[in-house]
Structure 1
Amino acid sequence: MNCTSAAKQNTQPAARDYKIQREWMLVAFGNYSKPDLIKKGAKIDLTANMEDGKIRGGAFMGCNNVFFTSEFKDKGKVKISGIGSTLKACPDMSLEDDFSKSFKNMTKYSVEGHFLTLSDDQGNQMKFVAADWD
């Protein structure tokens, strides 16, 4: 007598197959160096439960807590909306300002290994590494 378990069928959208729902550290963005991004603790958090295909996410770029809604769709499409933040005044908010301006324009995503790359229609990119990897 043998016991085997049936393979579970994955019926979730493609975005979930890539394990998007995790914390991602920002490692490449604009003219910011990787050490500067790490020093600021730059990251996005997509660990919230997905509801109607949307993830209520958060971000931190060294000063304020940023919040947003994201929809990771099939064929590498992403929609970022509802961006807001807490209102602390910090000495250097340039990364946070640049991130917020660019993040809302991201329309594409790709996951390769433990890296998430977001890009806009002009070819600008943000590259992240899974926080539990690096």
Structure 2
Amino acid sequence: MKTILFLLISTVLGAVACESQSDNNTETWWINSSKVACTGVGPMSCLQIQKSEELDPDGAWELFYSDIKGFDYEPGNIYQIKLKVTDRAEPTPADASSKVYELVEVMSKKADPALRLTNIWKLTQVGEIQNPTGFRSEAALTFEFDASMKTYVGNMGCNSVRGEIKENDGQKLLLGPGATTMKACPDMAVEQAISQALIDTRGYKVENNQLYLMNEAGQTLMTFQAVD
């Protein structure tokens, strides 16, 4: 009887120890909605991750150079996943991680609202100016926003501008000061209006294939029509 009791206790303790060890090997990660170019043993694309229970919208994303077994990644979505991290059996290949990452559970999967900004947009209004065009070409002015790369580039009528998207959560939008070409045109009114609007932009909305850039008070500064 004592032998049986001893075996039962040993079994229970062993199961508890295994479960505890399994929990120690389990981590919760957030996966960003797009991969970015990176360099491992050569040029490649990397997932962007945050290792935490709660997503920090203002936190930095860490580049992840390996792969996660069983994880079917679809760009455009922000994931929260639970995964098991274990040591890779020796010898470790020169181009492989010393760890093995295996999906346990997809805890959430949500479309990234920030990606709505990504498109080529035709400028239809800036301030009181309707359908502005290029000074020489008289073609419509277009801007391209890339939420994944966090960049924007556009034609301001006389000069072109290229800059950084500093904040974008699907509603808030802060654009960094853009670098422009240095051409001089007789009439710079459109360019000055666009330049000031970019500086004052603090938010946006996308409705019916139209993009509205707004200031802190929610007033529309510029209106665009989707090209694609």
**Fold shared by both chains (TM-score > 0.5):** yes
CA RMSD of aligned residues (A): 2.5
| Secondary structure of residue in 1 paired with 2:192 | helix
Mark the structure with the bigger radius of gyration: 2
Q: Which residue of 1 aligns with 2:199?
A: 104
- Determine which of 121, 126, 134 is the counterpart of 1:24: 121
Provide, for residues 68-110 of structure 1, a one-character-per-residue CA deviation record: whole Å limited to 9, x for no partner: 1114533510011132200011122211111101211100110
| Secondary structure of residue in 1 paired with 2:194 | helix
- Determine which of 38, 55, 65 is the counterpart of 2:160: 65
- Written as runs of structure 1 = structure 2, the 5 A alignment for 1:1-134 is 10-11=77-78, 13-16=112-115, 18=116, 20-34=117-131, 36-37=132-133, 39-47=138-146, 50-51=148-149, 55-71=150-166, 73-74=168-169, 76-122=171-217, 123-132=219-228
| CA distance 1:90–1:78, shift in 2 (3 Å) | same
Cα separation, 1, equivalents of 2:162 and 2:170: 25
Cα separation, 2, equivalents of 1:45 and 1:63: 17
Q: Which residue of 2 aligns with 1:3?
A: none
| Secondary structure of residue in 1 paired with 2:193 | helix
| CA distance 1:115–1:46, shift in 2 (3 Å) | same
Cα separation, 2, equivalents of 1:13 and 1:121: 23
Whose relative contact order is higher, 1 or 2, with alpha carbons under 8 Å and at least 6 apart? 1
| CA distance 1:37–1:30, shift in 2 (3 Å) | farther
Relative to the length of structure 2, the TM-score reads 0.47
Cα separation, 1, equivalents of 2:174 and 2:129: 24
* Unpaired segments ≥5 residues, structure 1: 1-5
One-letter amino acid of the structure 1 residue matched with residue 120 of structure 2: E
Deviation for aligned residue 1:40: 4.9
* Unpaired segments ≥5 residues, structure 2: 1-71, 79-110
Deviation for aligned residue 1:37: 4.2
Cα separation, 2, equivalents of 1:30 and 1:130: 19
Q: Is the CA contact 1:15–1:72 (under 8 Å) kept in the aligned structure 2?
A: no
Cα separation, 2, equivalents of 1:37 and 1:121: 27
Greater strand proportion: 2
One-letter amino acid of the structure 2 residue matched with residue 14 of structure 1: P
| Secondary structure of residue in 2 paired with 1:99 | helix
One-letter amino acid of the structure 2 residue matched with residue 46 of structure 1: F
Task: Calculate percent identity across the aligned residue pairs.
Answer: 25
Paired residues in the alignment total 120
| CA distance 1:100–1:111, shift in 2 (3 Å) | same
Cα separation, 1, equivalents of 2:220 and 2:209: 20
Deviation for aligned residue 1:67: 1.1
Deviation for aligned residue 1:41: 2.3
